[in-house]
Structure 1
Amino acid sequence: MRTMRETETAEPAVPPAPGAEQHPALDFANSVIALPGGHHLDLLATPGAAEQWLVDRGLAPADTGMMELCANLLRALREQVRALLAAHTADLPAPDGALAAVNDALTRAPAASLLRWDAARGLYRETAHPTTQIVEHALAVLAADTADLLTGPDAPRLTACGSAPCNRFLLRTGRRHWCSTRCGDRARAARAYARRTRTTTHPER
């Protein structure tokens, strides 16, 4: 898989999929975008890009100072969220690993500093690094919205874009199964090409 690393702070001109504005989890799952020609655009590919993605959605303050470890946590959760959405849209059982990852993210952000003990310090309160706290809060928010999306009133409308090679998810409106006008145009063009090919290969006698 060839990946185009998104290193600029400005995101590409790909409109949000229907439903992404109401559900951050949908926007999160769609932050890796399949493009024609076997390319993928990853909006969380670098720490800087991942931080900007969170900042733009009010999930982190500017200048958080995200490192690769935290960006990797976001990308790892995204894959599990995508697995849950894919299973739901295909009417398949939810993968155990994806369920465990989302539940872990839901409980990773403690409400208070935890009580710890070691031989040198005795009892003490452990305060997480500020960046870790920010990222764990963002993970918890995204995991909670994933759970809400999959169990709430919008769940029956959740579907995958019907225009190959697009890999985005959306909330269906009416009969629309495309995440954008561009994907709709591509799907219609593909159908028209297929009809022309059939006509050329099997002309009426």
Structure 2
Amino acid sequence: MERWPALELASTIRHDGDGGVADDLATVAGTTRWIREHGEPAAGELAADEQFRLDLVGLRQAVRALFARAVSPGPPSPADAHRLMPADEATARLNAAAAREPVAPQLAWPPDGTPTANLLTAENDAHVRLVAALARDAITFLSGPQRDQLRACTAPRCVRYFIKAHGRQEWCKPSCGNRARAARHYRRQRGAGEGGAVPS
């Protein structure tokens, strides 16, 4: 499956395994860990500071708001459904982040190889380059055909978005499916125990 860094950024808000929500970008140390594990290869040994963390969190808010719009009329992720940024503000923030790094496409075509495209930049700040790259990835994702396959996971307590890989997929990963089936079974058993008719 194709890797989408913008989807990975949105997934820095996640179920913590104990019924709560974890935020991988809550601290500078957590942000540094995330960019080294999930950032672009150019991130290398890049370390976060507080301003970069805030820039990344702001971009994530915009991406999650636009993901919520993309899955509509389905429900958005419950993690931020009650405090979503307005779509026009999210679009403006995403575009502004992408525009922070002016880039020019460059064609490379070796005599005995396949042509490839790279982006040439004069931007020296690695933080700016990373935020802009994530914003460009979100723009590519949201303006492409894969947007139609974006879903919010409906498993109890899950807050992730995912790309639906096949027609019957309802959850982001098997563990969420197991949790959803267990919750459904519990509701049925509880309803049957109370003497109510429970639909199958």
TM above 0.5: yes
The answer to whether the 8 Å contact 1:162/1:177 transfers is yes
- Cα displacement (A) at 1:182: 1.3
Deviation at 1:110, TM superposition (A): 3.6
Is contact 2:20–2:157 with CA below 8 Å preserved after alignment?
Answer: no
Where in structure 1 are there 5+ consecutive unaligned residues?
1-18, 113-126
Identity of aligned residues (%): 33
How many residues matched?
Answer: 166
Q: Which consecutive segments of 4 or more residues in structure 1 shift more than 6 A?
A: none
TM-score (norm 1): 0.73
Alignment of 1:1-205 (within 5 A): 22-35=3-16, 39-57=20-38, 58-62=41-45, 64-91=46-73, 95-111=87-103, 133-173=125-165, 174-202=167-195
Instruction: Please report how far the alpha carbon of residue 170 of structure 1 lies from its aligned counterpart in structure 2 after TM superposition.
Output: 0.4
Q: In structure 1, what is the Cα distance between the partners aligned to 2:8 and 2:27?
A: 17
What is the CA-CA distance between 1:147 and the residue it aligns to? 1.4
Cα distance change of structure 1 residues 169 and 59 upon mapping to structure 2, 3 Å threshold: farther
Cα deviations by residue, 1:43-102 (Å, 9 ceiling, x for unpaired): 12222221222222325121x34211111110111011111101111249x711100110
Query: Aligned residue for 1:115?
Result: none
Deviation at 1:202, TM superposition (A): 2.2
Two-structure CA RMSD over aligned residues (Å): 2.4
Q: Which amino acid aligns with 1:182?
A: S
| CA distance in 1 between partners of 2:155 and 2:42 (Å) | 30
- TM-score normalised by the chain length of structure 2: 0.74
Aligned to 2:21, the other structure's residue is in SS state strand
Q: Secondary structure at the match of 2:15?
A: strand
For residues 168 and 98 of structure 1, what CA distance do their matches in structure 2 show? 18
